[in-house]
Amino acid sequence: MKVVAINGSPRPAGNCAMALGRVGERLGGRGIGFEVIQVGDKAMRGCMACGACFKRQDGRCAFGADGLDAAVEAMAAADGIILASPVHYSGVGGTMKSFLDRAFYVAGANGGLFRHKVGAALVAVRRSGGSSALDCLNHYLSYSEMIVATSNYWNIVHGRQVGEMEQDAEGVQTVELLADNLAWILEMREAAKGSVPEPGPVKKVMTSFVR
């Protein structure tokens, strides 16, 4: 089994990366592979609403040469996905938002590439705004019919300077427990294969309120 983490921080070695490192260590101890895909320091455009991913049905974005296609392919092949972001004005980083809008739209346009994978979200914040940013990340997971792993508190670590998250004892515990719960769900999911049939996909009903 393998988990792919998307790091939406512009700092590849910042507090988000350190939190993900904690997760990776715990997963590795259970024999689960772990890979971090760095997104936050890339030039990542937002979705152009061109609809090409729905027309082509090839699992790719019309503008995916910026690294998005490779990331989506890795996420689709993984058993679990973690979304991590710093908090910018009580929301996720702009580059991360652009990436997620496109990645999850491509996934949905191609039959639900992330459907029934195990997902988790975490954020790093200096002071406040972490809950709303975390909520934003969880929207992508829940909309995609993913199985969401949780912890004993919201998945938020605090720190401004690199490394300060290590001083947030509760945040560190939260992240480590998140990793343990993520591993447990992955193991249950694997054990259930072939014995517990999963619900089949349905054609989505779209209701528009403006006629």
Which CATH number goes with the domain that contains 145? 3.40.50.360
Report whether pLDDT(191) > 80.
yes
- Please check whether residue 53 lies inside any domain of the structure: yes
Does the pLDDT of residue 55 top 80, yes or no? yes
Q: Note whether residue 73 is domain-resident.
A: yes
Question: What local confidence, expressed as pLDDT, does residue 210 receive?
Answer: 87
14 is a domain residue? yes
On whether residue 102 sits in a domain, the answer given is yes
Q: Does residue 42 sit within a domain? A: yes
* Domain region containing 113: 2-192
Least confident segment among 69-78, 178-187, 190-199: 190-199
Q: What is the mean pLDDT of residues 171-194?
A: 97
Average pLDDT over residues 3-22: 97
- Separation CA 30–CA 24 (nearest Å): 10
Is 201 a domain residue?
Answer: no
Q: Where are the beta strands (DSSP E) in the chain?
A: 2-7, 33-38, 80-88, 91-92, 118-125, 147-148, 156-158
Range from 117-121, 138-142, 169-173, 203-207 carrying the lowest mean pLDDT: 203-207
Q: Do the domain assignments include residue 138?
A: yes
Q: φ and ψ at 128, to 5 degrees?
A: -140, 175
Number of structural domains (the chain) is 1
Distance between CA atoms of 151 and 120, rounded to whole angstroms? 10
Rounded mean pLDDT, 179-188: 98
pLDDT at position 211, please?
75
- Of 73, 82, 150, 143, nearest to 115 (Cα)? 143
pLDDT value at residue 137: 98
pLDDT value at 46 more than 90: yes
Domain contains 208: no
Mean pLDDT of the chain: 96
pLDDT of residue 199: 93
Looking at residue 82, its pLDDT comes to 98
Q: What is the pLDDT of residues 72-129, one digit of tens each?
A: 999 999 999 999 999 999 999 999 999 999 999 999 999 999 999 999 999 999 999 9
Calpha distance 84→101 (Å, rounded): 15
Q: Which two tokens stand for residue 34?
A: 């772990």
